[in-house]
């Protein structure tokens, strides 16, 4: 019997530069959050939430984001 197709989640990749000069590449943000009137501003909130979760697990404070841009641009 054939399987039902599953909903495909699309992601947009972002490069992040932090205030301390470090950077992270290819951070995934759900494409459904982007667009509309806010454009890529919603990506900042999503990435900050990811950073908070990472900081909780590592026990280190989250880094302040300096800039965000889509990967490959």
Summary mean pLDDT of the chain:
88
Q: Can you give the pLDDT at residue 44? A: 92
The model's pTM is 0.78
| Helical H segments across 6-63, by residue range | 41-58
**Mean pLDDT throughout 58-63?**
93
- How does residue 34 score in pLDDT terms, banded at 50, 70 and 90? confident
- How does residue 15 score in pLDDT terms, banded at 50, 70 and 90? very high
**Mean pLDDT throughout 52-69?**
94
The token pair at 32 is: 């459904």
């Amino acid at each position: 019997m054939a399987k039902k197709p599953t909903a495909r989640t699309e992601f947009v990749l972002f490069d992040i530069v932090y205030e301390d000069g470090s950077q992270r590449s290819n951070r995934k943000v759900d494409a459904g959050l982007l667009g509309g009137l806010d454009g890529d501003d919603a990506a900042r909130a999503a990435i900050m939430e990811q950073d908070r979760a990472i900081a909780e697990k590592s026990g280190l404070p989250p880094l302040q984001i300096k800039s965000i841009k889509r990967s490959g641009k």
